[in-house]
Structure 1
Amino acid sequence: MKTSIFILLCAFFSISAMAQNNPSLQISGKIVDTVGQKPISFATVLIKNDKKVQLKSVATSKEGSFTITGLSTGNYFLSVVIVGYQTKVISVSLTSSSKTLDIISLSASPTQLKSVSITADRPLIKQEIDRISYDVKADPESKVNNVLEMMRKVPMLSVDGDDNIQLQGNSNYKILINGRPSGMMERNPKDILKSMPASSIERIEVITTPPAKYDGEGLVGIINIITFKKADNGTNGTVNLSERFPVGGPSIGGSFTAKLGKLGIATNAGGSLNSSPLLNNTNSRITLNYPTNLWQYGNRDQSGKSGYAGTELSYEIDSLNLISAQFNYNANDNESLSNQFSSLNNTQQLIHSYQLQNNLDGTGNGIDAALNYQLGFKKDKNRLLTFSYRYYRFTNSQYNNVDVLNQVIDTSNPSVTALKDYQQENTGGSSEQTAQIDYVYPLKKVTIEAGVKAIFRDNSSNFEFLSVNPAGQFVIDPLRTNNFDNKQNVYGIYNTYQFNINKWGVKTGIRVEQTQIKANFYGAGNQLDNSSLNFIPSISVNRKFKDNSSINFGFTSRIQRPGINQLNPFVDRSNPNFESSGNPDLKPMVGQSLEVNYSRFKKASLNIGFRAIIIDNLIMPQVSTDPVTNITRSSFANTGGAKLLGINVNVNYPFTAKLRATLGAMANYGMVNGEVNGVKIDKKGLMRRAFTSLTYRASKTLQATGSFNYNGPNLSLQGTSNSFVASSFSVNKDFFNNKLTISFAANNAFSKYRKAINYTTGPNFTQESYNQNYQRNFTTSINYRFGKLKDAIKKNKKGISNNDVSEGSNL
């Protein structure tokens, strides 16, 4: 991690024991980051004699280079020091000539900084040319919270009352792990992120202007989670145990890295059990043209378990040839039992009432595996040719067994049909194979990248509906049972250029994608066969100033193809008065994004960003009520378009050497237009969130943090949601030279429940749904770090990254 704003101040000492009358020898070299091979500026380079007496010190330049002059012949020790990196010591022998060292690589420090001075704290937020990163390791609450909870603090990210993640108030984004797609995040990310301890990751990046090397999908950007996988000769690892009560449960997670000569391995794994007490929910709906009033109330309890595991392997054949592989697996199992009473009335009398008892069982799993070969070149080791292959698959299954009890029907109303006990099951999933070639060609001042890629994706769904017959047996209803298959082939080619001119940095490029889609809805006779060609340009510009400030400009075009959750025509009838389904006829969304960010890192760190987004063919839920059957149906549609104007502000300020405050705020003004049942709808609204935290470090090993998070309403074409406040207080104590940490946290201690309310309106109805979520919980956590590291694992600098599929539904 680059932390160039802190410089160790060193005194100069002269020593005469080794001096000659006219010392004229020198030592020069260049310091770079081990992972990204980026130059490290403002690192302190110290020279000591063989008696460990310091002679001179210099700071590296912007390009990471240094020169120490005025030396005599003899043996020296060269030390490289900078906050956030492990100190490196090299022995150097000077004879009759000056010496130029090979490139010196520094590895990020895996441990918390020990200095009690606030100037030794790592900055939480860093602005780069095309992204903002949040340093999770530098946040004390990372030792007790999970990754989902930490995302509430990340600039431009928010988590709503149902634990759904949003980027700039939008659900159309992609989550990557270490710059690559992962089966853990493709299927059900919020459950995995809940079970993943934040202590197992390094930072969270929000890529707001994805360069052309990324797939063209993800309208508002990419969330990239960097796990802590630094590994050297030897081993290194973390283990985290936690217990959350009265709601939640136990969880375990950790990471392990090792390097044995040319072989490197990095793994992370975890799992959790969760449960919640009985919680209440209600639905109310009023229709206007045919006046009715539907009222539903009920309760539910649920429990589940989830787990994940990931492994990366690398083998250095020699200095120019590298082979690496990845494998990830995740699975979950959820069960719930709900009871619900429904009453439908008109202005005169009861039409229909009944009680439902619903047993739900949901399971799923996902795997992905990749193989990469990287070829370097002798003349320039930064010139790389990479061949990559990836296989990915996930499956989700949902089974409902519904019993209908205490049914009362108005027999004089012909539109009312008696309900029978029924079962429904849906198994949906996706599989894909990807092949990719990337080439990096660095010149003196320009780095050129190019590549080609092919994705072969198959989305499918198999759903059944069974109703009970007069004999009490469940039989398949052929009109509500079907298979769906959707094939997407995507071919892409890209070219990017990155260069620096004085204090200006530029990253620009273009991507071209050809998409072929074939879909078949068996039994219904619906088939789809079309193709499209998209040009996706991007440009990011960074201007640095002398006062540790910079300004960034970014523009990109994006495309978002619908995912299986939006395409799946399976109709969920677990609530007979409310049906939901996907839409196999959806078309991709397209959008353009323009942003400006200003950052300044001094005693107070400041980041301000402005953004404008325009989206066409917007995919959003479309809700309507049938006046004949009194059923509200929800599906997805390309309803129209949207515009979004937003501002994001983050401030980090140290009041004293022990007390530090962080403040973040985001506001987006959204404008949505579309059509529902032939009626045009225009919706405007302000989406906002704010976060603040205060950290007090009583000593090197004891610190406490309090934080508050406010989430405002979300905006959709036909509705909105309520706002809510979340809070957290934590205390961390380190033992045994920071290897063992014991933590305690109280989350939402002031409020036992969180009310998640969604309001929906249509041409002839208004609707409100309420879900009670248990939010007060207490967590104890033990985190243990072990191992000793020396040289970092060498990894492929390129790999497959499929970030092109949408699963979201909000603006």
Structure 2
Amino acid sequence: MRNWMTALFLCLFTINGMAQQPGTISGTVLDSVTHKPLTLVNVALQSAAGTKLKTTVTTEKGQFALQVATQSPGSQLAVSYVGYDSKLISLPASASALGEILLAPVADQLSGVTVTARPPLVKQEIDRLTYDVQSDPQSKGQSAMDMLRRVPLLTVDGDDNIQLQGSGNYRIFINGKPSALVTNNPKDVLRSMSASIIQKIEVITTPPAKYDSEGLAGIINIITTKKTAEGYNGTVSLRQNIPFGPNININGTYKKDKFGLSMYGGTGISPITTTGQDNLRETFGASPSTLFQTGTSGRNNKFVYAGGELSYEIDSLQLLTASGNYFQGRIEQFFDRMSTNKDVSGAVLQSYRLSSEGYYRNKGIDVGLNYQLGFKHRKDQLLTTSYRYSYSLNEQAADIRITDVFKFTQPNNTQRNDANFNEHTIQVDYVHPLNKITMEAGAKAILRTMNSDATGQIYSSTANGYINDPTRANQFRYSQDVYSIYNSYQAKLTKWTFQGGVRAELTRIAADFTSTATRLNLEYTNLVPTVSVMRLLEEGRTLTFGITNRLMRPGITMLNPFVDRSNPQIISGGNPDLRPVISHLFELGYNKVYKSGSLNTKLSYMYTNNNIESVTRILADTLSQTTFDNVGQSRIARINVAGNFTINPKWSVNFNTGIFYVWVRGVYNGKFFSNHGPRTNTFANATYKPNSIWQFGASGGYNRRYVNLQGGSNDYWYTSFSATCNLKKWSFSAIANNPFMTHYSFTMFTATEDFHQSNTSHMIYRNFNLSVSYKFGGLSSGLKKNRRGINNDDAAGGN
């Protein structure tokens, strides 16, 4: 292996060739019949092998301009538009003005597979589905979480829990990289992030071998906007949500000569909102009893986030980029709850009132550096070296007071947990095109440390104050090193595209349970193959097929042994003995592009052994504990249908529905559990645009309940109505979410032969968004970026 790598790198630095001088490729795209300009036509510069190098879209006058630093021999320009025949133009040796390009308005076959109406909304590729957020007319004034509800293959329930193809295990990326912003706290980050800074969302269901194997169901990649040429542009957005408060978001880009900058940021304040909570547990057996808890909880939230990317073109073959992301949020929270435990006759066995005040604070930081080297004889040949550092901090504290006591002996107490995560990643990637075949290979090392320190105090009447309680203390140290190599190949033929590869990963784990003086050392190797195939048929039809294995390594959220005792009778904590999980995924897709839109259908089947499940058991008549364990054997069969159609120039519709059946079984605490049933998630939207200024939309969705090992949830539905006014650089929007229902009750339940437990949150459901955006600058084309970089999708974030 060492001799092979040495020879490889010697070859990389001894290959020579000729590079063309920088210049501009420009032209005007017109309808071949009417000779009217076509707006938002996709224009892509690609190599002789068919690899896209740079893309743009035409202006209202049908014009486009691509700034190119180098132009390889045999380069081509691909011009495509829904409802028109695509065109492939061979380019001269140097960049030049191409003049008028005529597209015929008869779509017999499309060279690209665009699953949407005009402008593009959903695109199907060989291994992923892409949702264009900026093309969604209802994206203005919405959050990132709102947009995830509209993406095919994704489900978001009433408590903002996200599932990908029916699974809660996946990875979320920001701009192709894992981020501390969303690793441990995806809900609050995505709720606060404005959709105005998001360009598109990718759902990668069969990730190629260059990606880490983590994420049983796949990867969700959120790509932020990066648009500029020589000069600058940007957008400032103000939003007021009633009752959740205001926030401000800004994004902008700047480019001068060889230097480029893209950045975004936002901040907001959420005032205190109060909701209701109910917990019910019926315990069976020799001494049956019923525990009922009811009360209110409240929280406010302050957050700030920012991200940016710098690029510097050292010369036509060398590119240096740096990136950074930052998020910090603090939630003040309180609750007041009355607990009553009764026997079968209705007599009170125990009762008390519990009130708590506390906070939750989280912080995430990512910084990265990438160096990309190209080669003169072939633009697609690349060598990239990358480094990334990630850090996250999570603090949780609560002051718990107990009053109105009847036969309840627990004293007032406090609890605190400080958890942090550090990660260093070093990666080398090499891409080598061979005619119609592209080979990729690379190596990577990820070095992680995770720490958790939990402490607790109880009130002592003897000491007349709080004293440390050793039974509430826990120290946990955890390190995880992952070393991997991969090799993959992609072959693009006239109507076939093949992609296949294999990834080998070595994982070393060392855990130190300081409080119990217990150590754990573990080492294992995983070999992960991936195969994807795409077949272009006639009349805009496409077939895709994929098969892969995926891996789940439990993250600190699941491993952390800290026991949350904020509810003395329903406690929860992690399990440091969790082991990795491997899933097997098969999928088959069919896509059809029409003159007025498109239809996408996908069949998939995933099965998993020793799956990590959330499980609950009774410790005493009045106490239950929820944790995680490797006890599940699950299967999910799914069909997903998504469509986008333009009815006429003023009306358009899009829909997404997933119907799947879930089987799950396993043994926990010496007892066998089995559950199965159908699930659905359906979304539909209609848009009316009477003119170029006004736009109106209506949408709704329905999600059927979860199916878990020991229980599930109730169903969930939502509606939304919007109006948008666009005036040159100004945009105004008003959105009413769930206007017909003030509150919604979301219930998760557990049912066994020993007990039945349900936890219900009565959430604020009706809310209104008022937003205004201002765009400054007027230039748009692509900011040059590294084409390879670090993607640590190998560690579960508890999503």
TM (norm. structure 1) is 0.86
* Alignment check: 8 A CA contact 1:41 1:60 kept: no
1:320–1:242 distance in 2 versus 1, CA, 3 Å: same
Q: Which of 772, 789, 793 matches 1:799?
A: 789
**Residues 1:248 and 2:244 aligned together:** yes
Note the alpha carbon deviations across 1:300-325, whole angstroms, 9 max, x for none. 12111112101100101100111111
1:598–1:346 distance in 2 versus 1, CA, 3 Å: same
Structure 1 residue ranges without an equivalent (≥5): 1-5, 14-28, 49-57, 70-74, 84-117, 410-416
Aligned to 2:40: none
Superposition map of 1:22-421 within 5 A:
31-32=45-46, 37=52, 65-66=88-89, 78-79=99-100, 121-245=118-242, 247-289=243-285, 290-348=287-345, 349-409=347-407, 418-421=409-412
**Residues 1:555 and 2:555 aligned together:** no
How many Å separate the matches in 2 of 1:701 and 1:308?
32
**Residues 1:656 and 2:648 aligned together:** yes
Q: Which of 612, 621, 629 matches 2:614?
A: 621
Superposition map of 1:303-702 within 5 A:
303-348=300-345, 349-409=347-407, 418-470=409-461, 471-602=463-594, 603-627=596-620, 630-702=622-694
Amino acid across the alignment from 1:306: F
- The 3-state SS of whatever aligns with 1:142 is coil
Aligned to 1:53: none
1:42–1:313 distance in 2 versus 1, CA, 3 Å: closer
How many Å separate the matches in 1 of 2:181 and 2:97?
49
Amino acid across the alignment from 2:31: L
How many Å separate the matches in 2 of 1:652 and 1:601?
10
Superposition map of 1:691-730 within 5 A:
691-730=683-722
How many Å separate the matches in 2 of 1:282 and 1:7?
61
Note the alpha carbon deviations across 1:606-636, whole angstroms, 9 max, x for none. 00000000112200111001235x2100110
How many Å separate the matches in 2 of 1:487 and 1:41?
44
Amino acid across the alignment from 2:748: N
How many Å separate the matches in 2 of 1:574 and 1:612?
39
How many Å separate the matches in 2 of 1:236 and 1:39?
19
* Alignment check: 8 A CA contact 1:125 1:133 kept: yes
How many Å separate the matches in 2 of 1:64 and 1:512?
41
How many Å separate the matches in 2 of 1:763 and 1:469?
39
Amino acid across the alignment from 1:37: K
How many Å separate the matches in 2 of 1:76 and 1:677?
73
Counting aligned pairs with the same residue, the percent is 38
Quote the offset at 1:763 in angstroms: 3.7
How many Å separate the matches in 1 of 2:181 and 2:583?
27
Quote the offset at 1:473 in angstroms: 1.2
How many Å separate the matches in 2 of 1:205 and 1:347?
53
* Alignment check: 8 A CA contact 2:531 2:548 kept: yes
298-307 or 508-517, which deviates more: 298-307
Amino acid across the alignment from 1:643: R
* Alignment check: 8 A CA contact 2:128 2:205 kept: yes
141-150 or 178-187, which deviates more: 178-187
* Alignment check: 8 A CA contact 2:117 2:644 kept: no
- The 3-state SS of whatever aligns with 1:781 is strand
1:12–1:747 distance in 2 versus 1, CA, 3 Å: closer
Quote the offset at 1:119 in angstroms: 10
- The 3-state SS of whatever aligns with 2:148 is helix
1:478–1:41 distance in 2 versus 1, CA, 3 Å: closer
1:81–1:353 distance in 2 versus 1, CA, 3 Å: farther
How many Å separate the matches in 1 of 2:34 and 2:565?
77
Amino acid across the alignment from 2:798: G
1:47–1:201 distance in 2 versus 1, CA, 3 Å: closer
How many Å separate the matches in 2 of 1:300 and 1:345?
24
Amino acid across the alignment from 1:501: L
How many Å separate the matches in 2 of 1:790 and 1:288?
66
Quote the offset at 1:7 in angstroms: 8.2
How many Å separate the matches in 2 of 1:467 and 1:46?
72
1:207–1:579 distance in 2 versus 1, CA, 3 Å: same
Aligned length: 729
How many Å separate the matches in 2 of 1:418 and 1:37?
69
Quote the offset at 1:10 in angstroms: 2.0
- The 3-state SS of whatever aligns with 1:715 is coil
- The 3-state SS of whatever aligns with 2:196 is helix
Is the radius of gyration larger for structure 1 or structure 2? 1
Structure 2 residue ranges without an equivalent (≥5): 1-27, 36-42, 65-76, 105-114
- The 3-state SS of whatever aligns with 2:658 is strand
Quote the offset at 1:79 in angstroms: 4.8
Quote the offset at 1:77 in angstroms: 5.8
How many Å separate the matches in 2 of 1:242 and 1:373?
38
* Alignment check: 8 A CA contact 1:237 1:785 kept: yes
How many Å separate the matches in 1 of 2:515 and 2:348?
38
Amino acid across the alignment from 1:366: G
Note the alpha carbon deviations across 1:490-519, whole angstroms, 9 max, x for none. 000001101112200011110000000111
Amino acid across the alignment from 1:448: M
* Alignment check: 8 A CA contact 2:29 2:62 kept: no
- The 3-state SS of whatever aligns with 1:440 is strand
Aligned to 2:7: none
**Residues 1:741 and 2:731 aligned together:** yes
How many Å separate the matches in 2 of 1:590 and 1:249?
42
Q: Which of 773, 776, 779 matches 1:783?
A: 773
Amino acid across the alignment from 1:758: M
* Alignment check: 8 A CA contact 2:400 2:566 kept: yes
Quote the offset at 1:363 in angstroms: 0.6
How many Å separate the matches in 2 of 1:783 and 1:616?
49
- The 3-state SS of whatever aligns with 1:143 is coil
* Alignment check: 8 A CA contact 1:30 1:65 kept: no
How many Å separate the matches in 2 of 1:119 and 1:419?
60
Quote the offset at 1:65 in angstroms: 4.0
- The 3-state SS of whatever aligns with 2:182 is helix
How many Å separate the matches in 1 of 2:166 and 2:145?
16
Quote the offset at 1:181 in angstroms: 1.3
1:461–1:76 distance in 2 versus 1, CA, 3 Å: closer
* Alignment check: 8 A CA contact 1:129 1:552 kept: yes
* Alignment check: 8 A CA contact 2:427 2:790 kept: yes
Quote the offset at 1:526 in angstroms: 2.2
* Alignment check: 8 A CA contact 1:427 1:463 kept: yes
* Alignment check: 8 A CA contact 1:623 1:762 kept: no
Quote the offset at 1:641 in angstroms: 1.3
How many Å separate the matches in 1 of 2:629 and 2:205?
26
Amino acid across the alignment from 1:78: G
How many Å separate the matches in 2 of 1:626 and 1:807?
28
* Alignment check: 8 A CA contact 1:136 1:202 kept: yes
Note the alpha carbon deviations across 1:438-467, whole angstroms, 9 max, x for none. 000011110100000000011110001110
* Alignment check: 8 A CA contact 1:133 1:203 kept: yes
Quote the offset at 1:600 in angstroms: 1.1
